Amino acid sequence: MNTLILLTLSLTISVSLSKTSQKDGGFTVDLIHIDSPLSPLYNPSVSLTDRLRNAFHRSMSRAFRLSKTSAFRDSKIEADIFGLPGEYIMKIQIGTPPVDVLGIADTGSDLTWAQCQPCKKCYKQVGPPFLVPTSSSTYHAQSCQSESCVVLSDSQLPCGSKNICQYKMGYGDGSYSIGDLATDTFWFGPACFYNVTFGCGHVNNGSFNEHVSGIVGLGGGPLSIINQLNSTIRGKFSYCLISVIDEASNQTSKIHFGDLANVLGDDVVSTPLVMKEPSTYYYVTLESVSVGHNNLSYKQSGSKSTVQDRGNIIVDSGTTLTFLPRELYNDLSSSLTKAISGVAVGDPGRYFEICYLDLNLDNVPTVTFRFTGADVAVPPVKMFVEVENGVSCLGIKPSDGFAIFGNLLQRDLFIGFDLVKQKLSFRPTNCSMH
């Protein structure tokens, strides 16, 4: 672990700031949901119901992928693998002169990568151009002995005769990116950083969308954007997610870095971030969930212990649904059905277990997620999603040991990550006004 910390420090020191949009060192980037009318992935011919179903399917696939690589290796989540490795996209620029890159913003990945020429085998890409390393005066391939290459560990490929570090990133649906590890200049709006490590992908294939250049890694590992820019943003980023239900909206969610990421106010609550392997994910401790005044303790499925494991749930912006251990989910669903006086119906799409016809949200109690030191109240409008006309379902799924606090429940919360102070903060906020 000490070696990993030293490598992280070395990497962040090598990244320098040219200029920022704010004198305090912070900057902000649009975070666009892939189903927003502002997204290049938006298809107006797809109905809202179908978009929701696709998001649910992606959510199951993502939960399956994360469970395979996280500490929750006993998870029995099963899903047909489908779609993108995240729900939001970011526009950045790479190189000198800068070239537009449209990447999936992924808090479940560390390495940022984009498709590069020459492309031996790549998926079709329209919109943003491929990166051309020879056209950037600040591009530098990394050697196999470089510190950033050593950090790749399991993602590092055998070194070739040219001594260029090569990576391979794989995803749960069989999609992958293979290429050279390199450094170049990165632009986040007017904020410019030198010597940022990324993957220049020459062999990329799978289910990536043709409008997407690659991945923007926002995880907690040493090669993530968050840790590489640590000397400037000091381990701080935050976001405020708006609802994407309103198709007429011309607003985007925002992601903030540095001092602009501070979550302040009398109504802020904070919980410790728990350091676990893999370091990519953001773990916190969920102690219980309450339905009105009924408090339901977290207990790991299959365990007789009532003591909560530290870091028993991941906070992830790239997963739509929330996943709870089956025993806790059963207690939650039982308490909700007893409290709701509505007409229970089956889910037409067979995703959800708790659905109601013409649900009156005034009859639904507030559910509070009680993290260590932080009670986060989730109003009914975020707990239930209308999957078809008149049919609303609980946007939470059971799993055997694997837990994710998903983005449906994160809407209208200003959520701040501080990797230096190792804390996660929540503040109720109207994100459309933020």
294 CA to centre of own chain = 31
Neighbour tally for 331: CB within 10 Å: 21
Q: Amino acid identity of 91?
A: K
Tell me the C-alpha distance between 306 and 325, whole Å: 13
Q: Amino acid identity of 1?
A: M
Q: Which of 106, 110, 331, 418 is catalytic?
A: 106
106 given a catalytic annotation? yes
Encoding tokens for residue 55? 């998001």
Q: Which of 35, 110, 184, 316 is catalytic?
A: 316
Q: Amino acid identity of 394?
A: L
Could you list the active site residues?
106, 316
